[in-house]
Structure 1
Amino acid sequence: MSAVSPKREASEPADNQRPTKVAKPLDGAQSAGAPAAAYIRTKLPGFAPRLAIILGSGMGGVADAIEDKTEFPYSELPGFPVSTVQGHAGTFVCGTLEGVQVACLKGRVHLYEGTDPQLIRAPIYTFKELGCEIMFSTSAVGSLREDVGPGELFLLKDHINLQARNPLIGPNDPIGPRFPSLLNAYDPALRALIQAKAAENEINITEGVYLACLGPSFETPAEIKAFKILGADCVGMSVVPEVIVARHCDLRVATVSIVVNLAAGLTNEHITHDETLHFSGLAAGKVTQLVKSFIAANGEW
């Protein structure tokens, strides 16, 4: 497939861009992901991905491995918010990986950018509207465990949401229930498969609990001490809103996070975003291999 349209800077609107505003669905209305899914289908008739992928800071290598791909800038897709963070390209990639059709968010939008939490819905619901069954997300995290340092991987088994935000606040989208359960939000069967594929590829991976902060400032040493008491193993500024929305629309979820630093107080070094990009880049090859091995085992999903 060839690209649908030339690459645009994030600040340059597409000719056909619709205003990005929060959908207010009523009973019987279409979901917030329906317009973007319909637009993609007009460009790619017959595209029916099974797997959705979200790539975090510096992890574009997975998208680079996608074959026969078409890329849509977020600014071209109805209802999509646009990322402003370095290392987040802001494109929706459609194609094939390991013989399986996939849809991929190359870069994500964070709440600390000032994004209305409800706008997180559209990209995830678009996955569901296109036919995806599973969402495999990646992220960068700070580790609260000295035995899991920079360049290592966490496989998330649960989360603690301290962002004081929930993307489902407001009128309920008809794609899912008003009060979704988050029991086993990170699918146990998918986690077991990822553990098995990591072992096959001699990749160390540790299960852990993710704690979500709003950001953009990094955490204080006192906060990190408190987070450890709460049961967190790693900390970040993303993931949770997407997982909440994914479970709302019944996507099964798996999340792998790259450790890019030890959290404040475990080291005397100041944490920077450049450090995030550096260590995520070093570990990106492991994540790419793990994602490809997971997809190749699609008969076990």
Structure 2
Amino acid sequence: MSDESIRSVLLDQQAQDGARAIAELSGRDHHDLFVVLGSGLAHALDAVIDAPDSQRRSFALSDIPGVEAPVADGHVNTIHSVRVGALNVLIALGRTHLYEGVSPACVTACSRAAAATGVHTALLCNANGCVRQWQLGDVMAIDDHLNFSGYSPFNGPTFVDVTGVWNRELTDILAQHCQRRGIYACMRGPEYQTLAEGRWLMSTGADCVGMSTVMEAITLHALGVRVCGMSVVSDLSFADAPTDPNAVVEAAAAASTTIESGFRAICSYE
């Protein structure tokens, strides 16, 4: 399938309707940068969103056709359109996950609508379970991913080249602000991994694991958007205590300074 054919499949009528809704609700005819903030990260860019010169326009994610209100803890049904320097930036404070029983098309609806508004760069952020001996609150620049979710954004003989999903230049920039750099593994969830699965993930080369981001990244890359990401260590897979979802959100929130620093670096590069 040609690149143009892939675009026509992904930027369907729903995505076009979503882009029009974003334009109407934000008062901006295009956007340059798309940011998704995951579990516990909704306030990571408050300084950007609340800046006097941000010209903020805020509305519900679920106001965008095809986009559902997030249901996971630490996610908020809000998207902001802000001005950062010369850039129009969309900042989503939550996302939808495969484990909610929805399709990949639903998971990627916001990303596809954002791409239809003209964004050329995306910064995807999430919280993870770490399979390495790292520290809670460490932020990892995402070098690459392993898709163990059993899902793809595509059906049929699409055969998108995913070797370059994560933009090297942008990742190099983020790595200067993050404590770690590595591989993000995606599993469907909603259950967290077993100890055996954690050992297996480590053997595959994964550094951390989560339940999001990869569907969005593949989709945006297929649409010609440059993709980069940051993943916050919010759970240690080999800790003695069971994973506490509330602790995951709290650990992610503690990494806000790093997330903001990485975001500003990407904006400066743009």
User: Given the two structures, how large is their TM-score scaled by the length of structure 1?
Assistant: 0.80
Q: Does 1:181 align with 2:161?
A: yes
Q: Does 1:158 align with 2:130?
A: no
Is 1:117–1:165's contact at 8 Å kept on the other side of the alignment?
A: yes
Q: How many angstroms apart in 1 are the aligned matches of 2:8 and 2:256?
A: 42
How far is the alpha carbon of 1:98 from its aligned partner?
4.4
Query: 5+ residue gaps in structure 2?
Result: 1-6
SS at match of 1:140: strand
Choose 83-92 or 250-259, whichever is displaced more: 83-92
How far is the alpha carbon of 1:187 from its aligned partner?
0.5
Larger Rg: 1
SS at match of 2:56: strand
Letter paired with 1:138:
C
Is 1:140–1:257's contact at 8 Å kept on the other side of the alignment?
A: yes
Give the one of 118, 133, 149 matched to 2:135. Answer: 149
Identity of aligned residues (%): 24
How far is the alpha carbon of 1:179 from its aligned partner?
2.5
Partner of 1:248: 222
How far is the alpha carbon of 1:169 from its aligned partner?
2.5
Partner of 1:12: none
Letter paired with 1:61:
H
Partner of 1:281: 253
1:77-116 correspondence to structure 2 within 5 Å: 77-116=64-103
Q: How many angstroms apart in 1 are the aligned matches of 2:85 and 2:259?
A: 15
1:50-89 correspondence to structure 2 within 5 Å: 50-64=32-46, 65-66=48-49, 67-89=54-76
How far is the alpha carbon of 1:28 from its aligned partner?
11
User: Given the two structures, how large is their TM-score scaled by the length of structure 2?
Assistant: 0.89
1:97-246 correspondence to structure 2 within 5 Å: 97-146=84-133, 148-169=134-155, 178-196=158-176, 198=177, 204-246=178-220
Is 1:53–1:104's contact at 8 Å kept on the other side of the alignment?
A: yes
Q: How many angstroms apart in 2 are the aligned matches of 1:181 and 1:275?
A: 37
Partner of 2:234: 260
Letter paired with 1:160:
L
Is 2:64–2:110's contact at 8 Å kept on the other side of the alignment?
A: no
SS at match of 2:199: helix
Query: 5+ residue gaps in structure 1?
Result: 1-24, 173-177, 199-203
Letter paired with 1:257:
S
SS at match of 1:118: helix
How far is the alpha carbon of 1:155 from its aligned partner?
0.9
- How many residue pairs were aligned? 259
Q: How many angstroms apart in 1 are the aligned matches of 2:172 and 2:8?
A: 38
Is 1:58–1:284's contact at 8 Å kept on the other side of the alignment?
A: no
How far is the alpha carbon of 1:111 from its aligned partner?
0.7
Q: How many angstroms apart in 1 are the aligned matches of 2:143 and 2:260?
A: 20
Q: How much is the aligned-residue C-alpha RMSD, in angstroms?
A: 2.1
Give the one of 24, 34, 38 matched to 1:42. Answer: 24
How far is the alpha carbon of 1:63 from its aligned partner?
4.4
Q: How many angstroms apart in 1 are the aligned matches of 2:9 and 2:236?
A: 46
